[in-house]
């Protein structure tokens, strides 16, 4: 019986988090300083983008995964913790990378913007792991994934000559497969037991936490054009990025709702499908959004992403759960993984279109495919490594029976009163 009680994190969590935080402060002390003044106008625009991104990261991703009946507190609060840690880590990594490239090494508002966008893959991966890992494991995952994504970005910039915007958009794919592999490792490491039945009850959605998840989805839906256009530099491309993202999201909303109804014997809509599939259009259009010159292309992409996402949600759980033994209630594979791949392939096709000779075209496509494969390989390899690391006993992982249970991590006042 005793082993069923949550293993105490009292020494482990504060020690790890505190040492990490002090280390970050020391690194900031030695290496980071603010840059010289910049213009007022630029400040306002950049600050607005940062606010949109922080809103998406803290509220959107936080509430997106809050639909489980007994795990909503952890989803929201752990997401904020990972964001706060991830942004600091990403800013430090970016800084050291820039020093290697001999680029501008001062810290400004753009650093926070880039740091937030680099943390988004971490938050995506976390959706697959939340409920099965404690906060120490998540902090380790944040560090591992931020480093792996930093290395990926560095290699792609140096050897594949890929722009910042493309690298960041490949982050969806990176985050999705990283998270899936970590979840696979965690689920393999534990013996199956009688806790499974109890778990089924816990992963059920409650009506009001589903509304919170809808709030997260809607916030992501509203601010997704900001995310897709944040790193596009040329003003006209930025405008196209916003418009294309908007149309793709609108079409994928209509498609997702109708397809979800088609996939149920009585024509009922599944809320979880909707939470994920309405965003698929925005993910799919992410990489090529600044290249698309007509709204209908973005709309077709949104339609395809919606179909893939709902199709994946109906068919993939069967394959993944039973063959690979990955449990994936958050559905990041068909929200971020598959639509992200669709977007990457569309980008590779569109990117080659303007090349004049067949040699250049082939060259370009090989380079682009190489970059995409590298992201996938890095995501899977680092995910596997991280997953293997997280199965170590030292992290005091929660017992299977405590999966998706807020009571393992949170002090409930009305329980304390009952003691």
Contact of 393 with 140, CB cutoff 8 Å: no
**Could you say whether residue 299 binds its own copies (CB under 8 A)?**
yes
**Could you say whether residue 266 binds its own copies (CB under 8 A)?**
yes
Where does this chain touch its own copies (CB under 8 A) — which range of 183-191, 208-216, 317-325, 372-380? 208-216
Local structure of residue 335 (DSSP, 8 states): I
**Alpha-carbon gap, residue 317 to 270, rounded angstroms:** 15
Read off the tokens for 166.
Answer: 């493309």
**Could you say whether residue 43 binds its own copies (CB under 8 A)?**
yes
Taking the complex as a whole, how short is the minimal distance between the CB of residue 229 and its own copies, in angstroms? 8
**Could you say whether residue 198 binds its own copies (CB under 8 A)?**
no
Taking the complex as a whole, how short is the minimal distance between the CB of residue 259 and its own copies, in angstroms? 6
* Site for its own copies, residues 58 to 77, rule: CB under 8 A: 58-59, 62-63, 66, 72-73, 76-77
- How many residues are there in the chain? 419
Taking the complex as a whole, how short is the minimal distance between the CB of residue 336 and its own copies, in angstroms? 20
Read off the tokens for 374.
Answer: 């590298």
Question: What are the angstrom distances between the C-alpha of 269 and each of 46, 260, 273, 385?
Answer: 39, 5, 8, 38
Q: Which residue, 3 or 207, is less far from its own copies as judged by CB?
A: 207
Judged by CB under 8 A, which of 303, 332, 372, 390 binds its own copies? 303
Judged by CB under 8 A, which of 23, 45, 106, 315 binds its own copies? 45
412 three-state secondary structure: coil
**Alpha-carbon gap, residue 205 to 214, rounded angstroms:** 12
Taking the complex as a whole, how short is the minimal distance between the CB of residue 160 and its own copies, in angstroms? 29
* Site for its own copies, residues 136 to 195, rule: CB under 8 A: none
Q: Which residue, 113 or 400, is less far from its own copies as judged by CB?
A: 113
* Site for its own copies, residues 101 to 140, rule: CB under 8 A: 107-109, 112, 135
**Could you say whether residue 38 binds its own copies (CB under 8 A)?**
yes
**Could you say whether residue 259 binds its own copies (CB under 8 A)?**
yes
Judged by CB under 8 A, which of 1, 2, 11, 318 binds its own copies? 11
**Could you say whether residue 84 binds its own copies (CB under 8 A)?**
yes
**Alpha-carbon gap, residue 255 to 265, rounded angstroms:** 18
**Alpha-carbon gap, residue 288 to 75, rounded angstroms:** 31
* Site for its own copies, residues 267 to 296, rule: CB under 8 A: 267-272, 274, 278, 293-296
Contacts of 217 (CB under 8 A, 6+ apart): 60, 64, 274, 275, 278, 279
**Could you say whether residue 370 binds its own copies (CB under 8 A)?**
no
Q: Which residue, 242 or 376, is less far from its own copies as judged by CB?
A: 242
Beta bridge partners of 34: 107
Q: Is the dihedral of CA 403, 404, 409, 412 positive or negative?
A: negative
Closest by CA position to 169, among listed 411, 351, 355? 351
Per-position DSSP letters for 213-237, written without gaps between them:
HHHHHHHHHHHHHHHHHTT--SHHH
Read off the tokens for 233.
Answer: 């530099």
Taking the complex as a whole, how short is the minimal distance between the CB of residue 12 and its own copies, in angstroms? 7
**Could you say whether residue 304 binds its own copies (CB under 8 A)?**
no
Judged by CB under 8 A, which of 155, 243, 384, 389 binds its own copies? 243
Taking the complex as a whole, how short is the minimal distance between the CB of residue 268 and its own copies, in angstroms? 4
Closest by CA position to 330, among listed 129, 123, 96, 82? 129
């Amino acid at each position: 019986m005793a082993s069923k009680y949550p293993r105490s994190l009292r020494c482990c969590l504060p020690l790890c988090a505190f040492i990490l935080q002090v280390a970050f402060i020391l690194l900031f002390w030695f290496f980071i300083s603010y840059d010289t003044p910049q213009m007022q106008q630029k400040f306002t625009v950049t600050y607005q983008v940062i606010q949109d991104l922080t809103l998406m990261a803290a509220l959107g991703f936080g509430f997106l995964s809050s639909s489980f009946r007994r795990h909503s507190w952890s989803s929201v609060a752990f997401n904020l913790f990972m964001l706060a840690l991830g942004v600091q880590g990403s800013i430090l990594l970016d800084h050291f990378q820039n020093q290697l490239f001999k680029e501008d090494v001062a810290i400004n508002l753009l650093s926070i913007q880039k740091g937030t966008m680099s943390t988004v893959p971490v938050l995506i991966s976390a959706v697959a792991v939340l409920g099965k890992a404690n906060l120490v494991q998540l902090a380790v995952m944040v560090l591992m994934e931020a480093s792996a994504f930093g290395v990926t970005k560095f290699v792609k910039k140096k050897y594949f000559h890929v722009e910042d915007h493309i690298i960041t958009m490949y982050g969806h794919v990176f985050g999705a497969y990283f998270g899936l592999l970590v979840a696979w490792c965690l689920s393999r490491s534990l013996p199956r037991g009688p806790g499974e039945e109890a778990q089924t009850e816990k992963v059920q959605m409650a009506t009001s936490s589903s509304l919170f998840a809808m709030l997260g989805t809607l916030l992501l839906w509203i601010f997704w054009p900001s995310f897709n256009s944040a790193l596009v530099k040329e003003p006209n491309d930025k405008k196209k990025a916003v418009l294309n993202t908007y149309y793709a999201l609108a079409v994928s909303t209509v498609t997702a709702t109708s397809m979800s109804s088609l996939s149920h014997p009585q024509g009922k809509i599944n809320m979880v499908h909707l939470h994920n599939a309405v965003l698929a259009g925005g993910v799919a259009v992410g990489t090529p959004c600044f290249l698309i010159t007509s709204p209908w292309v973005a709309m077709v992409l949104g339609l395809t992403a919606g179909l893939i996402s709902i199709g994946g949600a109906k068919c993939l759980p069967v394959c993944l759960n039973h063959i690979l033994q990955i449990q994936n209630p958050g559905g990041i594979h068909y929200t971020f993984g598959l639509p992200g791949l669709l977007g990457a392939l569309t980008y590779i096709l569109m990117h080659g279109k303007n090349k004049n000779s067949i040699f250049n075209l082939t060259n370009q496509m090989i380079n682009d495919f190489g970059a995409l494969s590298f992201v996938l390989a890095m995501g899977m390899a680092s995910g596997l490594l991280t997953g293997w690391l997280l199965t170590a006993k030292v992290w005091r992982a929660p017992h299977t029976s405590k999966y998706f249970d807020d009571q393992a991590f949170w002090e409930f006042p009305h329980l304390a009163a009952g003691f």
